[in-house]
Structure 1
Amino acid sequence: MPELPEVEALAAYLRERAVGQQIKRIDVSAISVLKTFNPPVTAANGKLLTGTSRWGKFLDLELGDDLHLVIHLARAGWLHYRDNLPPAPLKPGKSPIALRVHLSDGSGFDLTEAGTQKKLAAYLVRDPKEVPGVARLGPDALSLSTQDLAELLKDKNQQLKGVLRDQQIMAGVGNAYSDEILHAAKLSPFMRADKLNAEQLERLHTAMGDILTDAVTRSVGQKAAELKGEKRAGMRVHGRAGQKCPVCGDVVREVSFADSSLQYCATCQTGGKPLADRRLSKLLR
């Protein structure tokens, strides 16, 4: 799933290549992708793409001074930019392309989604806050001071991993970067968020800033097609179960859930004790 650094990089990529172009038209080939109907998608035709920005993990394309195309790539979605797009309209159900944006110079981009869940979403709105997911977002993860973070966590009687991923608490961090942040902070993913002491809180804040800022720095300037590989290459524990921890050399371990998994280093994060299933683990400190 694209998270804060990748969405920031996509916004920068489109800012460099597409801002200043007019929207020629938008083709929708998967009805499930477009979540709004008023204004109609044809209202974007002829609009100038004036800017790009980010709301947590949402990408915001500013069309003229009164419309926004807001995109959430979800778990399996991606954006593919092309210098030359085929002019023919898309045929529904004939490819993984769910939506295509044609620009006035012949370039444009496709939104695609792998798998069968169909959670890729696009919204054509007059204000980004009309998008329910945007309206519910907590403060951006990179905007938080240590004190801000302390205030957010103080009443959260939940496991730290889940709190970091909750977009209504803080926006932008997902499954991958939460693993990386917790590893860098030397904190158990099962630790209760409201039990961090001052030193642990400082470590968490520092790790969050360092991990996300480094990932943004590495990602911005990359081509859209290269961002997934850049993200994987920068991971130290996420997606690396069975490999050696680059800090201590212990084996990176994994806890699996119904629809996701987490990776961690027991030596770095849990005092050498392997984590059990989240429902059974006693490692809350």
Structure 2
Amino acid sequence: MPESPEVDALAGFLDTAASGRTVEAVDILEFRTVKTRATPPATLIGRTITGAARHGKHIEVMFGDESLVVSLGRHGWIRWVEGDDDETGADATRPPSLATVSLSGEVAMEMTDAGTWVSLGLFVVGDPREVPAIAKLGPDPVDPDFTRAAFDAALGARRKQIKAILQEQESLAGIGNAYSDEILHAAMISPVAHAAALGDGERQRLFEATVAVLRDAIGARRGVPIDQLKPAKVAAMRVHGRTNESCPVCGDTVRDFSFSGASAQYCPTCQTEGVRL
């Protein structure tokens, strides 16, 4: 699942590599990706890209008074293709392209989706807030103005598992399954703890961990080639995806816990007082 550190790096790459290039062709291979039927991506042919930005887990490619917003969904990504890139042999295992925007200079942006259902979405809008998911985004923990007060407001006093709240885009923007595991491990908090049960000290640890984990990851991904962002993310995880490996903090065995169709990796010693969920 794309999350803010990798999406931020992708937006930064596109802001540099795509700015100043003109859209020469648009090829939609999966019609369900187009969410603005009155203004499909083909209306951007002949327009010049002026920049790119991130909104939570969404990419905005700017064209002055309009933008192409790419909602990456659960498994979406943007692949940068230079020249004649032939998807044969080993490359055939790459996620399929559902839409291609060809640019001047013999380069293209391929919008991919690796899921079993289409989660990628393409919107051509005058303002990114016209995209419903962006309009509903909560505060972004990597924003320099993000405060403990905004964090407390996002958590509230709900009897809801904190891991679920961290991934709730309307509460906090940009966090998914992987970084929620990393944040909770750094904060030494159980993934099944309810927001309402957290004391002030636990909330402070969680606030600090949320900010530090995401901002450190953004710094670490900056400059990484976009086709290497996912491997870089996987390699940096301390508990997520590390089931049965040793916790890098205490040496206990990282465990896996499944609930409500989701899963979490955690360290019993660091997070659950030795209790195995």
TM-score, normalised via structure 2 length: 0.92
Q: Secondary structure at the match of 2:7?
A: helix
Q: How does 1:130-141 map to 2 (within 5 A)?
A: 130-141=130-141
SS in 2 for 1:111: strand
Distance 2:275 2:205 in 1: 21
Aligned position for 1:127: 127
- Quick one: structure 1 residues 197 and 5, their matched pair in 2 at CA, closer, same or farther if it must change by over 3 Å? same
Q: Residue type matched to 1:139 in 2?
A: P
Listed one character per residue, the Cα deviations across residues 86-143 of structure 1 (whole Å, up to 9, x for unaligned) are: 7xxxxxxxx9210111111111221111232111111111211111111111111223
Q: How many residues align?
A: 266
Q: 1:184 corresponds to which residue?
A: 186
For 1:189 and 1:177, how far apart are their aligned partners in 2?
Answer: 12
Report matched runs for 1:269-280 at 5 Å: 269-275=271-277
Aligned to 1:206: 208
Amino acid at match of 1:52: A
Question: 1:194 and 1:142 mapped to 2: Cα distance?
Answer: 24
Q: Are the aligned partners of 1:98 and 1:113 in contact in 2 as well (CA < 8 Å)?
A: yes
Q: Distance in 2 between matches of 1:185 and 1:71?
A: 32
Query: Shift of residue 177 of structure 1?
Result: 0.2
Matching residue of 1:98: 98
Unmatched segments (≥5 aa) in structure 2: 86-94
Partner of 1:29: 29
Partner of 1:267: 269
Structure 2 Cα separation of the partners of residues 78 and 201 of structure 1: 33
Matched letter for residue 79 of structure 2: H
User: SS of the residue aligned with 1:69?
Assistant: strand
Please give the secondary structure, in 1, of the residue aligned with 2:32.
Answer: coil
Measured after TM superposition, the shift of residue 154 of structure 1 is 2.7
Q: Distance in 2 between matches of 1:85 and 1:69?
A: 24
Number of the residue aligned with 1:79: 78
One-letter code aligned to 1:267: T
Structure-to-structure mapping, 1:102-117, within 5 angstroms:
102-117=102-117
Tell me how far 1:147 sits from its aligned partner: 2.0
* 1:11 corresponds to: 11
**CA distance in 1: counterparts of 2:196 and 2:5, whole angstroms:** 27
Indicate whether 1:161 and 2:163 are aligned.
yes
Match of 2:175 among 173, 176, 186: 173
- SS of 1:102's equivalent? strand
Aligned to 1:68: 67
Alpha-carbon distance, 1:152 to partner: 2.1
SS at match of 2:33: coil
In structure 1, give the amino acid aligned to 2:152.
Answer: A
From the superposition, tell whether residues 52 and 19 of structure 1 become closer, same or farther in structure 2 (CA, over 3 Å).
same
Alpha-carbon distance in 1 for matches of 2:28, 2:149 = 44
How far residue 222 of structure 1 moved from its aligned partner, in angstroms, is 1.0
Query: For each residue in 1:55-94, what CA deviation from the matched residue of structure 2 results, as whole angstroms up to 9, or x when unmatched?
Result: 111111111x2211111222222221012257xxxxxxxx
2:139–2:150 Cα contact (<8 Å) kept: no
| Whole-angstrom CA distance in 2 between matches of 1:42 and 1:148 | 39
Q: Per-residue CA shift, 1:130-180, capped at 9, x if unaligned?
A: 111111111112232112212222332211001100000111111100000
Map residues 243-258 of structure 1 onto 2, 5 A cutoff. Answer: 243-257=245-259
Cα drift, residue 258 of structure 1: 5.6
Q: 1:247 to 1:194 in 2, by over 3 A?
A: same
- Contact (CA 8 Å) 1:141, 1:173: kept in 2 or not? no
Contact 1:27 1:101 (8 Å CA) reproduced = yes
Amino acid aligned to 1:165 = Q
Deviates more, 1:33-42 or 1:203-212: 33-42
Question: Using the alignment, how far apart are the partners of 2:40 and 2:208 within structure 1?
Answer: 44
1:49 partner SS: coil
Distance in 1 (alpha carbons) for counterparts of 2:195 and 2:47: 45
1:256 partner SS: strand
Please, what is the CA RMSD of the aligned residues? Answer: 1.4
Q: d(CA) in 2 for partners of 1:195 and 1:148?
A: 18
Cα pair distance change 1:258/1:148, threshold 3 Å: closer
Secondary structure of the 1:101 match is: strand
Moved more, 252-261 or 201-210: 252-261
Tell me, yes or no, if the aligned pair for 1:85 and 1:108 is still in contact at 8 Å: no
